[in-house]
Amino acid sequence: METEIITATPDNEIVNSRIVNASRKLVYRAWTEPEHLKNWWGPAGFTNTFNEFDFRIGGKWSFTMHGPDKGNYPNECEFIKIEEPSLIAWKRHSKPLFQILATFEEIADDKTKIIFKMLFDTNEERNKLKPYVVDKNEENLDRLENELKLMTL
């Protein structure tokens, strides 16, 4: 059963976007193939251990993010919408609760615009994370760009 995506409004979302020098197909692979995703997911210095990655609507993504200094951060997610190669959405079942909506727009054969939205039920929930998550999402996209370069070698 497909979960509805939270309606995005400026009051309940955090948005990062970036144009990368890679085809949409390659970008989609970096997001959907665990051998690539585990290499770049998370802020600078983080590593990941994937326990389950069942990439389908209703499928689970269970992983632990390991902080560079200390801390392990368990994540339990469920894929709620997939439109290859343009959209992936998932819902977090671990706190903090929110949904992710990632879209991939082909700008040219070797350029893709990524829009990464974090969608919250309320403005208050968004405001708790906004002060630090915007920069961390940029670090995440930096890591993605590095992975895309490695994937083209």
60-71 pLDDT per residue, tens: 999 999 999 989
Number of C-beta neighbours around residue 114 at 10 A: 21
124 within domain boundaries: yes
2 within domain boundaries: no
Overall average pLDDT of the 4-32 stretch: 95
Overall average pLDDT of the 75-80 stretch: 98
Q: What is the pLDDT of residue 4?
A: 87
Distance separating alpha carbons of residues 23 and 58, to the nearest angstrom: 27
Count how many domains the chain has: 1
Contact 76, 96 (CB under 8 A): no
Residue 134 confidence class, pLDDT cut points 50, 70, 90: very high
20 within domain boundaries: yes
**Looking at residue 66, which CATH number applies to its domain?**
3.30.530.20
**Considering the chain, what is the average pLDDT of its residues?**
95
Residue 3 confidence class, pLDDT cut points 50, 70, 90: confident
Q: What is the pLDDT of residue 8?
A: 83
Share of the chain above pLDDT 90, in %: 90
Nearest of 50, 23, 42, 10 to residue 138 by alpha carbon? 42
5 within domain boundaries: no
3 within domain boundaries: no
55 within domain boundaries: yes
105 within domain boundaries: yes
Mean pLDDT is lowest, of 3-7, 54-58, 74-78, 140-144, for 3-7
Q: Residue 49: give the domain boundaries.
A: 13-151
Contact 113, 21 (CB under 8 A): no
Q: What is the pLDDT of residue 2?
A: 59
Of 8 and 48, the one with more pLDDT = 48
4 within domain boundaries: no
Overall average pLDDT of the 125-133 stretch: 94
Q: What is the pLDDT of residue 1?
A: 52
Kindly give the residue spans of alpha helices, DSSP state H, lying in the chain: 24-32, 34-40, 123-151
